[in-house]
Amino acid sequence: MTGEHDSLTRRDLLARAAGAGALANFAPALVSRPIQPRAKRIIYLFQSGGPSQMDTFDYKPILDARHGEQLPDSIRRGQRLTGMSGNQTSIPVARSPFEFRQHGQCGAWVSSLLPNTAKVVDELTIIRSMHTNAINHDPAITFFQTGSEVAGRPSLPAWLSFGLGSGNPNLPASVVLVTKNKGGQPLYARLWGAGFLPSRHQGVQLRAGADPVLYLSNPKGVTRAMRRDVLDDLRALHELQLEREGDPEIASRIAQYEMAYRMQESVPDVVDFSDEPDEVFTLYGEDARNPGTFAANCLLARRLIERDVRFVQLFHQGWDQHGSLKGGISRQCKETDRASAALVCDLKRRGLLDDTIVVWGGEFGRTAYSQGKLTPNGFGRDHHPRCFSMWMAGGGFRQGLVYGETDDFSYNIVDKPASVHDLHATLLYLLGIDHEQLVFKHQGRRYRLTDVHGEVMHAWLA
């Protein structure tokens, strides 16, 4: 599957602007290697800041026995540390302050921080051997979102929109929901942007409150019919400009104006929870009644994928516990655990989990040693890209699988490493796309989400 701006007729451009997906336009490129899709959509629960793996899913009892001792040189192996802990004269091992138990038929170890997630482990694929390249937040989250640490590439949802088109002409192919009133590392629109793909493939953020999309509603005194007349005249002018200049971004602009017009009716419906019964709020928790909370966003994600939105991404900031880890991570899990598990249960009982992928994880993990002084409640953990944990559910992933292994200190991977490119390749595969064929030519080079890397992780799949 390839795409580029060369040799496109006005009719081609307008056809795309009208909403035809890239799959329809470039289908011949897929004929040689067809993949049967097992999923139709993705809900990605991004835990921004980097959750600590040894306090959630990667149980390491040796940390109790070695608590307060220096991290062995044989474990660190001279690996770089961040500037925040690299100058410490002491890097003492810090045990997890939380109890671990095995859960489900799969026997997965889960921390007491996540009692609700523990109840659904038999639905999950838990990966304990993820690794990444970047040790700082911005390049690390950019890498997860775009396949590159350097800003400017298309995001994962933009690639999916380009490759598969939109499932609902009245809603964007990808929607972003950010938990309100959370601090932490900044989030930028480029993380769900289109990069050098046509701009109509960028994600749309829905905000909490009466006006989910800025400037979408008509101003006072402007009726819907008046808006339609303005758009028709504007489209005619844009088509003249498109015929004269041949710039495909003009076609994208036409498409975005039309999408905004349709969203004036579709968005109010999807964000209105008044038709949800009380038992749904019991499942997700009372926070789901409060727009903009993580719980409300999980429920909204379910409503969006019910309307065939291809990709919904939730961002929950605040996982960057450089200090006071015990209290900080406890708050994060309290805000997210119930709703994350509820989403999996809700999708399953509605028959949606079979063709919907749910992904949970952050941009990297945390260190086994204490950042700063090791105290009972005040210690923190620094960034650690060499190993961390994620989980996936539904959409073709194997149920009750615990994959990969780290060393006794959760510092290095000792079995079955998995990269960010591998994750991307596998997600695309489950949606019916060969990651090596999803290509776009830009400035003379052919680009992929996975660049020249990535393997489909068939061991993760049912």
For residues 290 and 296, is the Cβ–Cβ distance under 8 A?
Answer: yes
Domain of residue 228 covers 10-460
Residues 6+ apart with CB under 8 A from 228: 261
* Burial of residue 257 (number of CB atoms within 10 Å: 0-12, 13-18, 19+): middle
Amino acid at 332: Q
Report if residue 2 sits inside a domain. Answer: no
Tell me what pLDDT residue 211 has.
85
Tell me what pLDDT residue 248 has.
86
Report if residue 119 sits inside a domain. Answer: yes
Tell me what pLDDT residue 33 has.
53
* Burial of residue 119 (number of CB atoms within 10 Å: 0-12, 13-18, 19+): middle
Report if residue 5 sits inside a domain. Answer: no
How far is CA 314 from its chain centroid?
7
The structure tokens 């006794």 sit at: 408
Tell me what pLDDT residue 86 has.
87
Please report which residue ranges of 29-130 form alpha helices under DSSP H. 62-65, 73-76, 115-119
- The verdict on pTM exceeding 0.75 is yes
Q: What are phi and psi of 302, to 5 degrees?
A: -60, -40
Strands (E) across 117-235 are located at: 124-131, 174-178, 204-205
Report if residue 166 sits inside a domain. Answer: yes
How far does the chain reach from its first CA to its final CA, in angstroms? 26
Report if residue 1 sits inside a domain. Answer: no
CA–CA–CA angle 167, 169, 174 (5° rounding): 55
Tell me what pLDDT residue 376 has.
85
3-state class of 417 per DSSP? Answer: coil
pLDDT string in tens for the chain (462-residue length)? 555 544 445 445 444 444 444 333 333 333 335 799 999 999 999 999 999 999 999 999 999 999 999 999 999 998 988 989 988 999 999 999 999 999 999 999 999 999 999 999 999 999 999 999 999 999 999 999 999 999 999 999 999 999 999 999 999 999 999 999 998 889 999 999 999 999 999 999 999 887 898 888 888 999 999 989 999 999 999 999 989 988 888 988 888 888 888 999 999 999 999 999 999 999 999 999 999 999 999 999 999 999 999 999 999 999 999 999 999 999 999 999 999 999 999 999 999 999 999 999 999 999 999 999 999 888 999 999 999 999 999 999 999 999 999 999 999 999 999 999 999 999 999 999 999 999 999 999 999 999 999 999 999 999
Report if residue 4 sits inside a domain. Answer: no
Tell me what pLDDT residue 407 has.
98
Number of folded domains in the chain?
A: 1
Tell me what pLDDT residue 12 has.
52
Report if residue 105 sits inside a domain. Answer: yes
Name the pairing type of β-strands 383-384 and 365-366: antiparallel
Report if residue 3 sits inside a domain. Answer: no
Round to whole Å and give the CA distance between 371 and 329. Answer: 15
Tell me what pLDDT residue 2 has.
58
